[in-house]
Structure 1
């Protein structure tokens, strides 16, 4: 289908079974495939194989324009979360129905010929939501890039309702479209997540998808539940006393979670305190001068530092500890770490030598 924190070792078997079920739709490729416990990168020469690469959705794909190569696909199965990115060489049509407890957030590069059921992708900031048990009929023209992330609908809807009760009290029961200024964040994050899995494969390191699943869900939720920019940090002055109490309770919750090595998300905080994301944003800006996301990141950086200072560098790596606390983009992690602590994480770890 068009459009997106366990990677399963049986992904390859599942794909092969799905391919057989679609009538000998082999996953034909030109380039060598990348496979890492759920990560696949393929050049597709058969539209049916494009459907087989996504066995979590019942789908049929039909090639509609000329081309020996149909698409280039990257799929990353994280268990309860899937990431799919497709660059279409030939036009195709996708027909299917989403299963129970399954939903997606997706986008397409702007093209007037693109059609997602009754919606088009004329705008550069269009994002699509498709819920469970929903029929879809998608036309993807040649030269278009599409991507989606999929989740458990119950998990996504509960979190979205906590962040923005007004908009998500009753989730849509059909394909819906909305505009967001944060689409570039989703595009960059997709590249980061797939790149992190590929990098782990090249290094020959085990890949733990737990932190990535949370990161994927939180990014999609920020996009799907973002309040109007002008309202995000300017609630009425009478709310300031309440904001200070909320911020104090949030800090206590974060500290408690970090003690047991749990990386709390914005959703976790909102659910724990029974507040919306807009209220939480104001509280943090008023009390600590930064967003909840920035505060959480600082907490995790401090936790990493504590571990690095305590571990033996002979049996610990910076990468291992960083990944444990959800830092998937190691270059950004190292930069943020040095900016705060004025030394590299490697220097901190080497202190025990």
Structure 2
């Protein structure tokens, strides 16, 4: 059975929660009102979505279990990191089901994501002449592809997605679901079996990405005692200049702004999933290491273009996510 939706958002947290089956947080890093679009379509064995966000975002979460997850950049106007690898529009992203991920998405980026049931993908893979080589290739999260062939395949995948969305009879036609699944499978497998695709390629995670991701985790793990940038430098045994350069390269911002923004996003998620009568703004801010309410409110407004008092809280009948 197919589910189809076209949504527009002015909050990345609502956007993230609307992506079917994905357990993830989006953290807005650049200042201003978020504007995003999300188009999704699900068949019985495949979920395809196209998303675009006007702000720089870092995504952190776990890929859906029992799946094989691919993402195709459509436009990539800035520095992108996927699992610590520097990527561009000639890169295919891949995650195994249940794998934790961190993805740095630049302002205005648009991508197409395709998630298959593992059994469906493995059956199709077994029918290719390069099954063993592709399995080796899928041990890494970023696969470099021939630019022109990738561009042609991307165009065909987007056309197949658009056609499936516009077909009014899609709900009642299993053959249409199969057509979409086979189109997406065929394009991806053909790209990876292409002789011009280097089957031996390796893309190690960069040191700069490791530093940013380690700082991200440390800053969100100890909210009652948030480490300063200097303390993070000491823990990682690297210089302040190295940390500064790492954040500039990976996230196009300073470590102070990045880590504060991630915690402000945490407050926003907390406010949106709790009732005002049960948790005050001050207590929500304190949970994320903000103890000076006036400073916090100014920083919050600067990042999200609204005061925390204007952020929609959970209604009385709403249940906070588990």
Smaller-chain TM-score bracket: 0.5 to 0.7
Query: Matched residues in 1 for 2:20 and 2:135: separation?
Result: 30
Q: Tell me by how many angstroms 1:107 deviates.
A: 2.3
Among 36, 44, 47, the residue aligned to 1:82? 47
**Structure 2 counterparts to residues 160-171 of structure 1, below 5 A:** 160-163=125-128, 164-170=130-136
Q: Tell me by how many angstroms 1:94 deviates.
A: 0.9
Partner deviation per Cα, 1:141-178 (whole Å, 9 max, x = no partner): 11211121111223323433432134134463452322
| Secondary structure class of the residue paired with 2:61 | strand
Is 1:42 the counterpart of 2:3? The answer is: no
Among 124, 129, 135, the residue aligned to 2:100? 135
Unpaired runs of 5+ residues, structure 2, are 198-322
1:159 maps to what in 2? 124
1:219 maps to what in 2? 187
**Structure 2 counterparts to residues 120-269 of structure 1, below 5 A:** 120-122=86-88, 124-163=89-128, 164-170=130-136, 172-181=138-147, 182-201=149-168, 206=172, 208-228=176-196
Query: Matched residues in 1 for 2:189 and 2:108: separation?
Result: 28
Report the CA distance shift for 1:53/1:183 in structure 2 as closer, same or farther (over 3 A): farther
Q: Is the 8 A contact 1:43 1:72 kept in 2?
A: yes
Q: Tell me by how many angstroms 1:111 deviates.
A: 4.1
Query: Matched residues in 2 for 1:169 and 1:138: separation?
Result: 23
Query: Matched residues in 1 for 2:163 and 2:196: separation?
Result: 32
TM-score by length of 2: 0.53
2:255 maps to what in 1? none
TM-score by length of 1: 0.49
Q: Is the 8 A contact 2:63 2:69 kept in 1?
A: no
1:347 maps to what in 2? none
Partner deviation per Cα, 1:329-353 (whole Å, 9 max, x = no partner): xxxxxxxxxxxxxxxxxxxxxxxxx
| Secondary structure class of the residue paired with 1:215 | helix
Query: Matched residues in 1 for 2:25 and 2:53: separation?
Result: 16
**Count of residue pairs brought into register by the alignment:** 193
Query: Matched residues in 2 for 1:172 and 1:74: separation?
Result: 26
2:33 maps to what in 1? 68
Partner deviation per Cα, 1:88-132 (whole Å, 9 max, x = no partner): 21111111111322122212234441111111223x421122122
1:274 maps to what in 2? none
Partner deviation per Cα, 1:251-308 (whole Å, 9 max, x = no partner): xxxxxxxxxxxxxxxxxxxxxxxxxxxxxxxxxxxxxxxxxxxxxxxxxxxxxxxxxx
Query: Matched residues in 1 for 2:171 and 2:69: separation?
Result: 29
RMSD of aligned C-alpha atoms? 2.7
| Secondary structure class of the residue paired with 2:167 | helix
Q: Is the 8 A contact 2:146 2:196 kept in 1?
A: no
2:80 maps to what in 1? 114
Q: Is the 8 A contact 2:76 2:106 kept in 1?
A: no
| Secondary structure class of the residue paired with 1:39 | strand
